[in-house]
Structure 1
Amino acid sequence: MAYFQFQITKVMARKRLVVLVVSVLLPIYSQAFDSKATGFRAAVVKVDITPEGHQMLLGYGARKSTGVNDRIYHRIVVMDDGKTQFVLVSSDICVMSPAEYDRVAARLKKQLGIDPVNFWWNLTHTHSAPELGPPGLPALFMANRYEHHFDSDYAEVTEKKLIDGIAEARQKLVLARLGVGWGLSQANINRRAKDIDGKAYLGMDPDGAVDRRIGVLRLDKEDGSPLALLANYAIHGTVLSGENLLISGDAPGVVAEYVEQKLGVPMLFINGAAGNIAPIYSGYPNPKAGRMNQFRVLLGEKILAANKSISATTNDISLKTASLIVETPRKPELGWIDELKDYTRTTKAGVNMVKLPVRFLQINDDIAIWSAPLELFCEISNEIRDRSPFPYTFYFGYGNGWLGYLLTEEEIKHGGYEVTVSPFTPVAAQHLTDSVVNHLQGKK
Structure 2
Amino acid sequence: MLLSLKKIPASGTRLLLLAIPLLFPLLSWAIHPNAAGFRAAVVKVDITPEKHQMLLGYGARKSTGVYDKIYHRIVVMDDGKTQFVLVSTDICLVSPSEYDKVAAKLKKQLGIDPVNFWWNFTHTHSAPEVGPPGLPAIFLGDRYQHQFDTEYTEMVERKLLDGIQEARQKLVPARLGVGWGLSQANINRRAKDVDGKAYLGMNPDGPVDRRIGLLRLDREDGSPLALVSNYAIHGTVMSGSNLLISGDAPGVVAEYVEQKLGAPLLFINGAAGNLAPIYSVYPSPQAGKLSQFRVLLGDKVLEANKSITATTSDITLKAAGLIVETPRKPELGWTDDLKNYTRTTKAGVNLVRLPVRFLQINDDIAIWSAPLELFCEISNEIRDRSPFPYTFYFGYGNGWLGYLLTAEEMTHGGYEVTVSPYTPAAAKDLTDSVVNYLQGKK
- SS of 1:283's equivalent in the other structure is coil
Q: Is the 8 A contact 1:38 1:315 kept in 2?
A: no
- SS of 2:34's equivalent in the other structure is helix
Q: Is the 8 A contact 1:35 1:175 kept in 2?
A: no
Between the aligned partners of 1:29 and 1:154, the Cα distance in structure 2 is: 46
Q: Which residue of 1 aligns with 2:336?
A: 338
Between the aligned partners of 1:383 and 1:13, the Cα distance in structure 2 is: 70
- SS of 1:394's equivalent in the other structure is strand
Between the aligned partners of 1:34 and 1:173, the Cα distance in structure 2 is: 19
Displacement of 1:19 in angstroms is 3.6
Which consecutive unaligned segments of at least 5 residues does structure 1 have? 1-7
Displacement of 1:224 in angstroms is 1.1
Q: Which residue of 1 aligns with 2:114?
A: 116
Q: Which residue of 1 aligns with 2:93?
A: 95
Displacement of 1:29 in angstroms is 6.5
Size of the aligned set, in residue pairs, is 436
- SS of 1:441's equivalent in the other structure is helix
Displacement of 1:21 in angstroms is 3.3
Matched letter for residue 354 of structure 1: V
Displacement of 1:322 in angstroms is 1.0
Q: Which residue of 1 aligns with 2:204?
A: 206
Q: Which residue of 1 aligns with 2:3?
A: none
Q: Which residue of 2 aligns with 1:388?
A: 386
Q: Which residue of 1 aligns with 2:83?
A: 85
Between the aligned partners of 1:137 and 1:24, the Cα distance in structure 2 is: 55
Displacement of 1:18 in angstroms is 2.8
1:33 to 1:54, Cα distance in 2 relative to 1, 3 A:
farther
Between the aligned partners of 2:372 and 2:174, the Cα distance in structure 1 is: 31
Between the aligned partners of 2:317 and 2:24, the Cα distance in structure 1 is: 29
Q: Deviations over 1:244-283 (max 9, x none)?
A: 0000000000000000001101000000000000000000
1:38 to 1:111, Cα distance in 2 relative to 1, 3 A:
closer
Q: Percent identity?
A: 80
- SS of 1:257's equivalent in the other structure is helix
Matched letter for residue 127 of structure 1: H
Between the aligned partners of 2:360 and 2:22, the Cα distance in structure 1 is: 39
Matched letter for residue 176 of structure 1: A
Displacement of 1:28 in angstroms is 6.9
Q: Is the 8 A contact 1:38 1:316 kept in 2?
A: no
Q: Which residue of 2 aligns with 1:150?
A: 148
Q: Which residue of 2 aligns with 1:3?
A: none
Matched, 1:174 2:172: yes
- SS of 2:91's equivalent in the other structure is coil
Q: Which residue of 1 aligns with 2:235?
A: 237
Between the aligned partners of 1:311 and 1:187, the Cα distance in structure 2 is: 25
Q: Is the 8 A contact 2:124 2:246 kept in 1?
A: yes
Which consecutive unaligned segments of at least 5 residues does structure 2 have? 1-5
Between the aligned partners of 2:10 and 2:334, the Cα distance in structure 1 is: 76
Q: Which residue of 1 aligns with 2:105?
A: 107
Matched, 1:270 2:268: yes
- SS of 1:75's equivalent in the other structure is strand
Matches within 5 A, 1:254-265: 254-265=252-263
Larger radius of gyration: 1
Displacement of 1:122 in angstroms is 0.3
Which TM-score applies when normalising by structure 1?
Answer: 0.95
Q: Which residue of 2 aligns with 1:5?
A: none
Question: Given the alignment, which residue of 181, 184, 187 partners 2:185?
Answer: 187
Between the aligned partners of 1:33 and 1:261, the Cα distance in structure 2 is: 42
Q: Which residue of 2 aligns with 1:433?
A: 431
Question: Given the alignment, which residue of 303, 308, 315 partners 1:310?
Answer: 308
RMSD of aligned Cα (Å): 1.7
Displacement of 1:430 in angstroms is 0.5
Q: Which residue of 2 aligns with 1:18?
A: 16
Q: Which residue of 2 aligns with 1:159?
A: 157
Q: Deviations over 1:45-91 (max 9, x none)?
A: 00000011100000000000011000000000011111111100000
Which TM-score applies when normalising by structure 2?
Answer: 0.96
